Chains A and B, each alone.
Chain A
Amino acid sequence: MKDLDNYKEAWKNQGSKDLKYSYNDIQEMLHKKSSSIVKWIFYISLIEFCFWIIISFAFDTDWDKINVSNRLYLLLGALTLVNYIIIAVFIVLFYINYKSISASSNTQKLMKDILKTRKTVYYYVLYNVAMLVCGFALVLYFIFTSEDFLNQLQTARPESSLNSSLILAILISTIIVAVIVVLLLGFYRLIYGILLKRLKENYKELSKV
């Protein structure tokens, strides 16, 4: 490595031509805002938390419109309560992970902490999507088994049998739910894909022996 040692010498004596910032320049920089990916992750995560909390509130009011039995109403109430507890746990976990991110950790730990924080939000989103699908399934079950709906279906499609009309209705609603889920997860992957592609690659490279 003799060649490199030669370059090393030159490297050590460099500096005179580099840009120099004055005391005042540096003081001014301290007032500027960070544009780091951690800040982006934090804001996007906040939006996600708010988005899914609003969605669960929206679903909360929907249950009243459906004529459900008392026992089922209690069950749904309990489920909603569990849902809020789980959301609160996710927010606490996110906060703990977010706080552990420190620029003065070693490089591998820093990357691990950033990815861990993101993963918390990823699981939060997956959980909410699963709840959304369950919610849809329940609502659709009540609609499809209600007499009002079955009567309407028969009036709307008198030429077909009730069973085939029902299968068609189930199929259409399943496709709509699937499209919503794919769009939601796709949008989510896109945002984080753009934000974390380089970090993931670097983490993989650093961890590889």
Chain B
Amino acid sequence: MVKDLKHRFTEDLEKNQNIIHKVCRAYTTSDSAHKDLFQEITIQLWRAYPKFRGDSKFSTWAYRVALNTAISLYRKSKRQIETSEIYDNLKELEFKDYDDEKDQQVKLLYKAIRQLSDIEKALCLLYLDDKSYKEISKTLGITEVNARVKMNRTKTKLKELLNA
């Protein structure tokens, strides 16, 4: 029974891991921290999985748990701040291989997102992944009006950072 559940969960997560990587990349500044956060999210997902009833898609549910873990549960280590520059340089090297315009844009987006606050990062990710205001308000637990106000401010800030 548990083995079955574990198998199903692993398959679901393997298929949807892209979402978790996006969250990890936005909230961390080093490869080791990215792995750390991914692991913590996986543990939190696995713990909550028995209660996941499938009334929403696995990806939607996993997105929420991933954001919650990054915002409220994960403890940032000091090591992260120290290695942030190295990480950016590594990413620079990594991107040289595929440096077309779209990749450059993704790179700039992450660079800008990392300068936002934890809540703004969540809003930004939800916006970029085309979530509706209803879904954003449900995920964050705020009213739709509040979500709209916050989103507009975040979009303006993001635009400024991208144009800086």
Contacts and interface: CB of A to CB of B under 8 A. Distances in A.
Interface of A: 1, 3-4, 6-15, 17-23, 26-27, 29-30, 32-38, 40, 102-111, 114, 195, 198-199, 202, 205-207, 209
B40 A206 contact: no
Contacts of A40: 75
Which of B69, B76, B102 has its CB near the most chain A CB atoms (within 10 A)? B102
A26 B162 contact: no
B68 A7 contact: no
B140 A108 contact: yes
Tell me whether chain B's interface is mostly helix, strand or loop, or mixed.
helix
A3 B159 CA distance: 8
Nearest to A104: B48
B114 interface: no
Interface of B: 6, 9-11, 13-14, 17-18, 21-22, 25, 34-36, 38-40, 42-48, 51-52, 61, 64-65, 67-69, 71-76, 94-95, 98, 101-103, 105-106, 108-109, 117-119, 122, 127-130, 138-142, 146, 149, 155, 158-159, 162-163
A22 B10 CA distance: 9
A108 B41 CA distance: 18
Contacts of A110: 68, 72, 141
